[in-house]
A and B are shown apart, each in its own frame.
Chain A
Amino acid sequence: MSVADVAASGGLQATRVTKRFGGVVAVDAVSLDLRPGEIHGLIGPNGSGKTTLLNLLSGYYAIDDGTIVLDGETLNRTPVQRRPFLGVARTFQKPRLLGSLSVLDNAMLGGWRDARAGFVGTALALGRARRDDAVLRARALELLHGVGLGGVLDRRANQLDHAEQRFLEIARGLAMRPRFILLDEPAGGLTEHEIEQLARVVTTLRDGGIGVLVVEHHTDFVFRICDRVTTLNLGRMIAQGSPQHVRNDPEVIRVYLGA
């Protein structure tokens, strides 16, 4: 698929992106395109550059080489705080929630891009801040019920168990109304049953037209739900394609899956 095709279909495309930390090349000329309405898996051994690539896509690190394009627009220099406004959301390997706030408040924070009221207007209690809150609260409520946290809306986030924290991060990301969401090891630490629920949530996102990038070690989970899979090793891409294709790739078996 050429650059023009991806731009036409709308997508988040990384082309030959490279990131160096000192002398180490963490991501070495990796290309990956994430299309709306698809689940793209990113797998590889520890230290292969998966999370680094995710951090490049979400803007936490600046890329040293290559391009990142969203709908034909170059994002290379777009700061991390602007990416949510362009429709790119993410979650974290270790959930980063606001422990002292309720589940509902945490999810509402995700709607920041749609908060229109300024500081002075909010201080003076002009109607806009209240309307912002009402809209974002309603949206967060629906999403929290949707991911299965409807029963713990008022619980402080630091009292949640691990699975609830993971699902809350997804709800917060969805409150941004993203077109792409990047999930960093969403199945990490979850039970079999919880992974099953996660799979249902992620496929629902895809069916809703969202492009989902899943960085994951649970290969069963990845091969089951992903439409395409990219495998990294030592910062380089070693295989890309359908789950079937990647699963049977001899190089992937050698460095990651094992015989």
Chain B
Amino acid sequence: MNLRNPRLPLLVAGAVAAVTLPFWAGDVYRVHLATLIAAYWILVSGLNLVVGFTGLLSVGHVGLLAIGAYAFAILAGTHEINPFVSLVIAGGVGGVCGFLLGLPSLRLPGFYFAMATLAFALIVTEVTLAQQELTGGGAGIAVPGFGGPFESPDGFYWLVAGIAVLFTVFTWNVSRRMWGRAMIALRDSDVAAASVGVPVYKVKLTTFTFSGVAAGVGGALFGALQSYITPETFVFELGMFFFICIVIGGRGVILGPFVGTIVLTALPEFVAPLANLGQFFYGALLLIVVLLVPEGIGHVFTWLRERRSPRTTDKQVVTPDLERLAAAIRAGREA
């Protein structure tokens, strides 16, 4: 749905740049930053299906990120389980928590659903503070790396980037098939969705559970990248940050939120004055996007293309082809 041929060279160039990044990035910090973007994107790619496609306003995914990170730290660190096995389990724990959170809250209308996810994020913070024996409480907990070839910053970057590509492919596959259409139907008109038989609650719950898996995996990799986590690492602003990445990137697209994640993570690091502005920068950018391009930066490309080759919207009269219609109806009967 979103991959048109003119974009292909751009995507190939982007892929080459991403694979070779450690060779041209210059210093270790930039590789660290790229790894951080990839870990964030794993979460955002799943959240994008929830927010951008299904239209559910979840602002609490930072809680699921924390759960993934702590699960990984406890399994791979405290219990010394193989990090890859721990990673898979962390994803599973994220999925289960997403499912359990979605089970009651997805019945709520939009605003109350957002409040439920917010409350969830706050509860996770309190639990990690309280469960000292498990999480180290306010002092935090060390998170082991993956060892072997993934111990070096470059190796770990490739690992995280590879998993990020995997999740991007998952979400792209979903978005361009019937599931993607059903999700957008829930976002734009749940009445229409129900009228064609889309099981509203089931689609929402499935999508939300998937986003929990993505958040769990992203959280595990995020934790391993930080190498030490405390409840302070998972401030509520981080949850808003993920949400804003998608709003700025645009709804119902994948590339837009991806660019949004890169820009919002990297820009304050490279443009020093922006870093001083901190949250103000995010706020200002959000305001500009919402006021000027409410459909998000992902749609600027579409808009430019349509400006370059304006569509001839001459009024043409609907002229049914009745024989073809009759044949199509007959085919439907026999199917």
Give residues in A with beta carbon < 8 Å to B: 58, 60, 80-85, 89-90, 92, 96-101, 105, 108-115, 117, 119, 122-125, 129-130, 132-133, 136, 139, 142-143, 145-152, 155, 159, 161, 163-164, 167, 172, 174-177, 193-194, 197, 200-201, 204-205, 207-210
Q: Is B12 interfacial (CB 8 A cutoff)? A: no
Which listed segment binds A: B16-24, B30-38, B273-281, B327-335? B327-335
Q: How far is the CA of A115 from the CA of B191 in the complex (A)?
A: 19
| Residues of B participating in the A interface, judged by any CB pair closer than 8 Å | 1, 169-171, 173-174, 177-179, 181-182, 184-185, 188-189, 191-200, 206-207, 210, 251-252, 311, 313, 315-322, 324-333, 335
Give min CB distance, B91 to chain A, whole Å.
13
Contacts of A85 in B (CB 8 A): 197
**Could you list 18 further interchain pairs (A-B, Cβ under 8 angstroms) beyond the known A174-B332, A194-B318?**
A58-B195, A80-B194, A96-B192, A97-B192, A108-B181, A112-B181, A117-B179, A119-B206, A125-B169, A129-B178, A136-B178, A146-B320, A146-B328, A163-B318, A193-B317, A201-B322, A208-B333, A209-B329
Residues of B within 8 A of A129 (CB): 173, 177-179
Q: Pick the contact of A119 from B193, B210, B324, B329 — CB < 8 Å?
A: B210
> Would A98 and B197 be within 8 Å (CB), given that A92-B191, A132-B178, A197-B318 are in contact?
no
Judge whether B252 and A208 touch: CB under 8 Å: no
Closest 9 CB pairs of A and B: A146-B325, A84-B197, A208-B329, A177-B332, A142-B328, A148-B318, A115-B178, A148-B320, A123-B170
Given contacts A112-B197, A139-B332, contact A159 B313 (CB under 8 A): yes
Residues of B within 8 A of A100 (CB): 184, 188, 251-252
Specify which chain B residues have a CB less than 8 angstroms from the CB of A133 in the assembled complex.
177-178
A1 and B206 CA atoms in complex are apart in Å by: 46
Q: In the complex, A201→B97 CA distance in Å? A: 50
Asked whether, in the complex, the Cβ of A119 is within 8 Å of the Cβ of B322, the reply is: no
State A83–B313 Cα separation when bound (angstroms). 37
| Residue in B171, B251, B328 whose beta carbon sits within 8 Å of that of A174 in the complex | B328
- Would you call B173 and A124 a contact (CB within 8 A)? yes
Chain A residues with CB under 8 Å of B192's CB are 92, 96-98, 109
Q: Determine if B181 and A101 form an interchain contact, defined as CB atoms under 8 angstroms apart.
A: yes
Task: List residues of chain A with CB within 8 A of the CB of B325.
Answer: 143, 146-147, 201, 204-205, 208
CB distance A105 to B333 under 8 Å? no
Q: What residue of chain B has the Cβ atom nearest to residue A98's Cβ?
A: B188
Given A115-B178, A139-B332, A197-B320, A105 and B195 touching (CB < 8 A)?
A: no
- Bound complex: CA A186 to CA B315 (Å): 20
Which residues of A lie under 8 Å from residue B173 when comparing CB positions?
122-125, 129
B184 CB contact (under 8 Å) in A98, A110, A146: A98
Known: A98-B184, A109-B181, A147-B320. A172 touches B331 (CB 8 A): no
A142→B324 contact, CB < 8 A: yes
Say yes or no: B189 contacts A90, CB within 8 Å.
no
In the assembled complex, the CB of B95 is this many whole angstroms from the nearest CB of chain A, namely 11
Q: Dominant SS at the B interface? A: helix
Quote the shortest CB–CB distance from B201 to chain A (angstroms).
Answer: 9
A162 to B316, CA, bound (A): 12
Which listed residue (B189, B200, B315) contacts A98, Cβ 8 A? B189
- Asked if A132 and B195 sit within 8 Å, CB to CB, the answer is no
Given the known interface contacts A98-B192, A147-B320, the answer about A112 and B332 at a Cβ–Cβ threshold of 8 Å is: no
Question: With a CB–CB cut-off of 8 A, which chain A residues contact B311?
Answer: 155, 159
Q: Flag if B328 contacts A122 (CB, 8 Å).
A: no
Are A210 and B329 touching (Cβ within 8 A)? yes
Bound CA–CA A114/B319 (angstroms): 28
Q: Which residue of chain A has the shortest Cβ distance to B319 in the bound complex? A: A148
- Across the interface, do B199 and A201 meet the contact criterion of CB distance under 8 Å? no
B197 touching A176, Cβ below 8 Å: yes
Instruction: Report 13 cross-chain contacts, Cβ distance below 8 Å, ordered by A residue.
Output: A60-B191, A81-B200, A92-B195, A100-B184, A101-B184, A109-B182, A123-B170, A129-B178, A149-B318, A167-B318, A205-B329, A208-B333, A210-B329
**A201-B189 contact in complex given A109-B181, A132-B178, A147-B325, C-beta closer than 8 Å:** no
* Nearest residue, chain A, Cβ from B207: A119
Known A-B contacts A97-B189, A139-B332, A193-B317; A204 and B196 likewise in contact (beta carbons under 8 Å): no
> Are B210 and A112 in touch, CB under 8 angstroms?
no
Knowing A81-B197, A90-B195, A205-B329, the reply to whether A200 touches B178 (Cβ < 8 A) is no
Min CB gap A105→B, angstroms? 6
Point out the residues of chain A lying under 8 angstroms from B200, CB to CB: 81
A205 to B325, alpha carbons, bound, how many Å? Answer: 8
Could you tell me if B1 and A105 are in contact, using CB atoms closer than 8 angstroms? yes
- Say yes or no: A109 contacts B185, CB within 8 Å: yes
**A205: B residues at CB distance < 8 A:** 325, 329
What residues of B have a CB within 8 angstroms of the CB of A146 in the complex? 320-322, 324-328
A177–B1 CB distance below 8 A: no
Chain B residues whose CB sits within 8 angstroms of the CB of A98 once the complex forms: 181, 184-185, 188-189, 192
Nearest residue, chain A, Cβ from B325? A146
Question: Which residues of chain B come closer than 8 Å to A143, judged between CB atoms?
Answer: 325, 328
Assembly CA distance A152 to B318 (angstroms): 10
Tell me the minimal C-beta distance from B306 to chain A in angstroms. 10
CA–CA, A145 and B331, complex, Å: 14
Residues of B contacting A210 with CB < 8 Å?
329
Provide the bound-state CA to CA distance between A123 and B46, in Å.
11
